[in-house]
Structure 1
Amino acid sequence: MEQFLIISHIICGGTVLLLGLIQMINRKGSKNHILLGQIYVGAMWWICLSAFAIITFYRFSAFLMVIAVLTFHTSFVGVRVLRRKKIGTEKWYDWAVAIATSLFGAGLIIYGIHTYFTTNNPILALLCGIFGFFTLKNGIEDLRFFIKPNVSEKSWWLYQHIGAMGGSYIAAMTAFAVQNPNIFLPNSSYQWLLWILPSVIGTPLITMAIKHWRKKLNTSRATV
């Protein structure tokens, strides 16, 4: 079973990395985009499930745990926002995921502080703080939106979808880079940068994509 979990985890990881690239150039809203998106999310959720199974039954890995939480939360939000385009249609499990994500982020920050003062590993403490902060931020932003939605744009759900699915791909790229450091920074003492480089590179690209679609939709509405 452990071997099956590991092999299927790797296969689904490769599937996500490939489909993520294809989806970036796929025509948004097309049947092909929807189908590949469903496969992408299914593979992503199996990555999360298999990671938690490995952690629970075979060997604990803080790395697997953090990436599993991040990939599940972002892909979950990316799917759910397409099904709750109408404000106030959140389900109990939307709240549950947001609360659990917030608590995990807060716990990661506390663990980072504990690591800083009890071990000689400031890099680990820094990474825990960074990932904990953004995980907590994501969860709180979801909760804040549920409580008091600030919707000033008709296609708000599209922008949230792009941001969430882009975030899930960044998490997948982070996992791949951290697990294969010698591909990107061979024999380097700076391999810890692979934890943050995908976010540093990917976040501006997501912002650009959202701006592109906002401009495109606003232009099309203005000409109608």
Structure 2
Amino acid sequence: MELLHQLNIGLHIVCGTLAMLLGLVPMLGRKGGAGHRRFGRWFLLATAGVLLTAVLGLAVFNFRGYLVGIVLLSVYQAWSGFRAVRRRATGPAPLDGWVAAGFLVSSVGLVAGLRVIELVWTPGIIYSTLGALVVMTIYDLARFRFLALWRRTLWRYDHLWKMISAYFALVSAFTGTVLPQYKPYSQFGPSLLGIMLILGFGLYYARQRPLVRPGVSAGSAAA
């Protein structure tokens, strides 16, 4: 069992390193091109490996409740960011609503359970992580009230916000684990950088010409 645990840790580290390297290309390179899509898919695959090995490690080998919140947030950010592109022409589907509701219930349940879990990480970091997941899932449930606006423009910011957040959630988990002597800065520092990038990219796209020309429907433009 110990050998399997070490193999799982090794695979987790390999997938995490690949995800952090691959994610730089779609985040900092030209948006919307073939390279962006290709490296974006590879980033998602590597992220899936990170999350699967994390879930396996937490569930089978060494449960650590304070890491469950990071896993939940990273999984949901990557899933919802990917779905924002896939559903840009038609809007979120019922599946998106059910997944958002499931993660919202899970995050609230984990908040309640943290009172009996040993908190190795700074409590403020853990609660803010779960708070971010609550905010994101509530927003995703609210999207069904403004589908036309979401299909017209907001899907782009939705994708941007969640994929960059997923990337820096991985980086924060990495730095918080390998640089414990610099806590809590090693835990929230990468997230602050991610927030600045999200705001910068968001302002950049907001200053561009409208994504939909007058007289063209949102569904036609996004198809």
The alignment's TM-score, normalised by the length of structure 2, stands at 0.83
**Which of 146, 157, 172 lines up with 2:144 in the alignment?**
146
Using the TM superposition, give the Cα deviation of residue 5 of structure 1 relative to its aligned residue in structure 2, in angstroms: 1.9
**Which of 195, 201, 206 lines up with 2:193 in the alignment?**
201
Rate the CA distance shift 1:209–1:216 in 2: closer, same or farther, 3 A: same
Using the TM superposition, give the Cα deviation of residue 178 of structure 1 relative to its aligned residue in structure 2, in angstroms: 0.7
Structure 1 stretch 100-109 or stretch 198-207: which is displaced more?
100-109
Matched with 2:129 is 131
**Which of 27, 38, 48 lines up with 1:24 in the alignment?**
27
Task: Answer whether contact 2:152 2:211 (CA < 8 A) is retained.
Answer: no
Using the TM superposition, give the Cα deviation of residue 218 of structure 1 relative to its aligned residue in structure 2, in angstroms: 3.1
Separation of aligned partners in 2, 1:56 and 1:123: 19
Separation of aligned partners in 1, 2:47 and 2:120: 31
Separation of aligned partners in 2, 1:219 and 1:54: 44
Task: Answer whether contact 1:75 1:165 (CA < 8 A) is retained.
Answer: yes
Separation of aligned partners in 2, 1:67 and 1:123: 11
Rate the CA distance shift 1:141–1:89 in 2: closer, same or farther, 3 A: closer
Task: Answer whether contact 1:111 1:128 (CA < 8 A) is retained.
Answer: no
DSSP 3-state at the match of 1:218: coil
Rate the CA distance shift 1:193–1:31 in 2: closer, same or farther, 3 A: same
Using the TM superposition, give the Cα deviation of residue 108 of structure 1 relative to its aligned residue in structure 2, in angstroms: 3.5
Matched with 1:178 is 176
Task: Answer whether contact 1:104 1:132 (CA < 8 A) is retained.
Answer: no
Root-mean-square deviation (CA, aligned residues, Å) is 2.7
DSSP 3-state at the match of 1:86: coil
Matched with 2:217 is none
**Which of 99, 102, 118 lines up with 2:101 in the alignment?**
99
Query: Kindly, what percent of the aligned residue pairs are identical?
Result: 24
Deviations 1:33-72 (A, max 9, x none): 1111100001111111111111111110224322211111
Task: Answer whether contact 2:66 2:126 (CA < 8 A) is retained.
Answer: no
**Which of 65, 70, 73 lines up with 2:68 in the alignment?**
65
Matched with 2:155 is 157
Is 1:108 matched with 2:115? no
Is 1:80 matched with 2:83? yes
Deviations 1:157-205 (A, max 9, x none): 11111111011011011111111116xxxx45xx123222222222122
Counterpart amino acid of residue 127 in structure 2: G
Separation of aligned partners in 1, 2:110 and 2:101: 14
Structure 2 portions without partners, runs of 5+: 215-223
The alignment's TM-score, normalised by the length of structure 1, stands at 0.82
Using the TM superposition, give the Cα deviation of residue 214 of structure 1 relative to its aligned residue in structure 2, in angstroms: 2.3
Q: Which structure has the higher relative contact order (CA within 8 Å, separation 6+)? A: 2
Structure 1 portions without partners, runs of 5+: none
